[in-house]
Amino acid sequence: MIQTTRKTNNASLKSSSVKRAKNTGQGQTHNRQTTTLYRQATTTNRRMGAIKTHSKTTVKKVSPHKKTTRRISWKWRLFKWSLIIGLALFLAICGYVFYCYLTMPNMQKAVAQTRQPSTVIMAENGNDIAKFGNVYAQVIYPDKLPKNLTNAIIAIEDHRFYKHFGFDIFGFTRAMFTNVFRKRYAQGASTITQQVAKNIFLTPNKTVKRKVQELILSLWLERKFSKKQIMALYLNRVYFGSGNYGAAAAANWYFNKSVYDINVREAAILAGMLKAPNRYNPILKRDNALKRANVVLQNMKKYKFLNATEYQEALNLPVSNGQQYRVTGGKHFAQYVYDEVNAFIGERTEDIVVMTTLDQKLQETAEKILRNKIYSAKDKNVSEGAVVILDKTGAVKAMVGGVDYNRSQFNRATQARRQAGSAFKPFVYLTALQIGFTPASIIEDKAITIGKWKPENYTKRYYGNVSLTYALAQSLNAATVRLSRELYLKDVAANAHKMGLTTDLSLTPSMVLGTNGVKVIDMATAYATIANGGYKIWPHTINEVATADGRQLYVRDADKPVQILKTNDVLNLTQMLESVINQGTGHKAKLPIFAAGKTGTTQNYRDAWFIGWTNKYIAAVWVGNDNDKPMNKVGGGSLPAEIWHDIMLTTVKDTPAGAPKYLPFPQTNEDVGSLLRNITNKSTTKHQQQPIPSNDAENDDTFDAIGALIEMTN
Whole-number Å distance between alpha carbons of 172 and 414: 54
**Distance of alpha carbon 78 from its chain centroid, rounded?**
60
Q: Reply yes or no on whether the pLDDT at 545 is more than 80.
A: yes
Backbone region of residue 451 per phi and psi (left: phi > 0; alpha: psi in -120 to 50; beta: other values): left
pLDDT band at 69 (very low <50, low <70, confident <90, very high): low
Whole-number Å distance between alpha carbons of 218 and 295: 27
Q: Reply yes or no on whether the pLDDT at 304 is more than 50.
A: yes
Where in the sequence of the chain do the CATH 1.10.3810.10 domains occur? 110-116+130-317
Q: At residue 687, what are phi and psi to the nearest 5 degrees?
A: -115, 150
pLDDT digits (tens, 9 = 90+) for 628-667: 999 999 999 999 999 999 999 999 876 655 555 444 433 3
Least confident interval from 118-132, 315-329, 509-523, 602-616: 315-329
Q: At residue 537, what are phi and psi to the nearest 5 degrees?
A: -125, 155
- For residues 72 and 659, which has the higher predicted lDDT (pLDDT)? 72
0.85 surpassed by pTM: no
Where in the sequence of the chain do the CATH 3.40.710.10 domains occur? 373-701
Q: Pinpoint the alpha helices (H) of 438-544.
A: 468-473, 477-484, 489-499, 520-531
Query: In 26-148, where do the E strands start and end?
Result: 119-122, 128-132, 135-136
Whole-number Å distance between alpha carbons of 324 and 39: 119
Residue 42's pLDDT is: 55
pLDDT band at 587 (very low <50, low <70, confident <90, very high): very high
Q: State whether CATH 3.40.710.10 applies to domain 373-701.
A: yes
The size of the chain, in residues, is 714
Neighbouring C-beta atoms of residue 593, cutoff 10 Å: 17
Q: For helices 192-201 and 227-237, give the axis angle rounded to 10 degrees.
A: 50
Q: Reply yes or no on whether the pLDDT at 682 is more than 60.
A: no
Residue 107's pLDDT is: 56
Whole-number Å distance between alpha carbons of 172 and 56: 72
- For residues 168 and 88, which has the higher predicted lDDT (pLDDT)? 88
Least confident interval from 35-44, 137-146, 439-448, 479-488: 35-44
Percentage of residues of the chain with pLDDT beyond 90 = 50
Whole-number Å distance between alpha carbons of 589 and 610: 9
Superfamily per CATH, domain 110-116+130-317: Biosynthetic peptidoglycan transglycosylase-like (1.10.3810.10)
pLDDT digits (tens, 9 = 90+) for 216-275: 777 787 888 888 888 888 888 888 888 788 888 889 889 988 899 999 999 999 999 998
